[in-house]
Amino acid sequence: MLKFEKTLPVGLQLYSVRDFLQKDFEGTLKKLKDMGYDYVEPAGFYGMTAEKFSDGLKKAGLTAISAHIPYAEMMSDSNKVINDCLTLGIKYLAIPYLDEKTRPGAADFENVLNTIREFGKKCAENGITLLYHNHDFEFIKMPDGRYGLDYMYETVDASILATELDCCWVKVAGEDPVEYVKKYAGRCPVVHLKDFTGVKSENMYNLIGLKETAKSTSSFEFRPVGYGKQDIPSIIKAAIASGAKYLVVEQDQPGEQTSLEAAEMSRNYLKSLGF
């Protein structure tokens, strides 16, 4: 097993346990804290204001380090989005997903990049770093031969857009997550640790929560960190060497376990590595 010269703070993407949060917000946060998660990454406020949501985190002893807020919401009410982030006290704000009309390869993609530039500047002016959280569809080839993901980072200045590499989707796209973390050294402050088994399949995107009734299949399944096919120790080693600030666990859909059980399995695995 790899030995680590240093460790990084570990957080949980709260989308992973959304079903429990919807039923018992405060109780679920307490359970996460008891598991050993000190940091979280919100994805929605569950009908609460940012102030009330923030109070709930503080009561549980949790700190928000970043947040996933839909791209459309960022563009439609950028002032509110930034004010909510300031209320949470977060350092990072991630674009979590682009639909088919706005992602690489779409006719409007250049305009999307322009709006990202403007919003990224506004974030920077308020002390927030804008991140982009990838899936595998950004690995489409652009007309010049570059992947859409690389095209984005090479045409938008690093001072206004950094990356939140999701290591599962990098692997699903056929690339090495370790090498991608290294490629964006100094520009990847938050690394998403996500494990899976199987291969790319037609129903993958149903499993990220677009359809809450979707179930894993034998061809693709999300797994707790350390229980799938990812070389997690090597990814972590690369993250540390590349200057990452946080590791964030994410599991879009649980398998045999409940989402809370899966979150605990991931946390215990990382504890076994010294984190």
Structural class in CATH, domain 10-272: alpha beta
For the chain, list residues with pLDDT below 70. Answer: 1-2, 201-218
What is the C-alpha separation between 29 and 158, in angstroms, rounded? 34
Q: Which residues neighbour 162 within 8 Å (Cβ) at sequence distance 6 or greater? A: 92, 129, 130, 131, 132, 187, 188, 189
> Closest Cα partner for 223 from 193, 191, 180, 190?
193
What contacts 138, CB < 8 A, 6 or more positions away?
Answer: 103, 104, 147, 148, 149, 152, 173
- Residues present in the chain in total: 275
The SS3 call for residue 136 is: coil
- Output the pLDDT for position 205: 62
pTM of the shown model: 0.94
Q: Where are the domains positioned within the chain?
A: 10-272
What pLDDT is recorded for position 207? 60
CA 138 and chain centroid, separation: 15
What residue spans of 61-130 are helical by DSSP H? 71-76, 78-88, 109-125
